Amino acid sequence: MNLPNIQIKKILYATDLSESAVHAFSYAVSLANMYGAGITILHVLAEFPGEEFITNMINADTWQEIKNRNYSEARNQLIGKKRGPVALKEVLQAFSEEAKADGEDQAFITDEILIQSGSPAEVIVETAKKLSCDLIVMGTHGQSAIADVLIGSTAKWVVRQSPIPVLVIRLPL
């Protein structure tokens, strides 16, 4: 049997900022070190899934006012006057730098940090394609067979739709 020579040069690490995503980052770093790959960190701000339904009930201007008012209030409560994506990008940059500092033998390269909005699963797959990534690494929340059925739909969708390999990491039991 003639096995292909696997080359991993670009890893897309998708994070929802959960504990399982942080755990998955150690796998992304380990693989990046093993293959000499760069890591792109991606966080997707999920859009409200029922927006089309709401705009059928109220006009678009009213809905935009409601979104703007609530977004501003939430942003001010969570991060003060800074814009959300900028603050998240700074947090992810600090996270990446701390991981490098904590592990002297973990000299991975962070290619870029992306904050995007949309459907998380779709954005992950599209970003991996656009950046010509060789691997997607992400966490999942499933802790049992029942939980796997009920949650983890983003990871499942990415696994089914991605044209490149996806490494899905669960928290240790």
pLDDT above 90 as % of the chain: 40
pLDDT over 80 at 26, yes or no: yes
Q: Which residue's structure tokens are 């009920």?
A: 150
Model confidence over 110-139: pLDDT tens digits? 899 999 988 899 999 999 999 999 999 999
Report the alpha-carbon distance of residue 46 to residue 121 in Å, rounded. Answer: 9
Give the pair of three-digit tokens for residue 55: 């705009």
For residues 90 and 161, which has the higher predicted lDDT (pLDDT)? Answer: 161
Q: Which pLDDT belongs to residue 124?
A: 96
Q: Which pLDDT belongs to residue 99?
A: 78
User: CB–CB of 155/125 below 8 Å?
Assistant: no
Report the alpha-carbon distance of residue 155 to residue 16 in Å, rounded. Answer: 11
How far are the Cα atoms of 74, 82, 90, 92 from residue 87, in angstroms, in the given order? 13, 6, 5, 9
CA angle at 26 for the pair 131 and 115, rounded to the nearest 5°: 40
Q: Which pLDDT belongs to residue 81?
A: 45
pLDDT classification of 50: cutoffs 50, 70, 90: low
Structural domains in the chain? 10-47+85-170 (3.40.50.620), 48-81 (no CATH)
Model confidence over 61-88: pLDDT tens digits? 776 777 666 665 555 554 444 455 667 7
Q: Against a cut of 0.85, is the pTM above it? A: no
User: CB–CB of 45/84 below 8 Å?
Assistant: yes
- Tell me if residue 115 falls in helix, strand or coil: strand
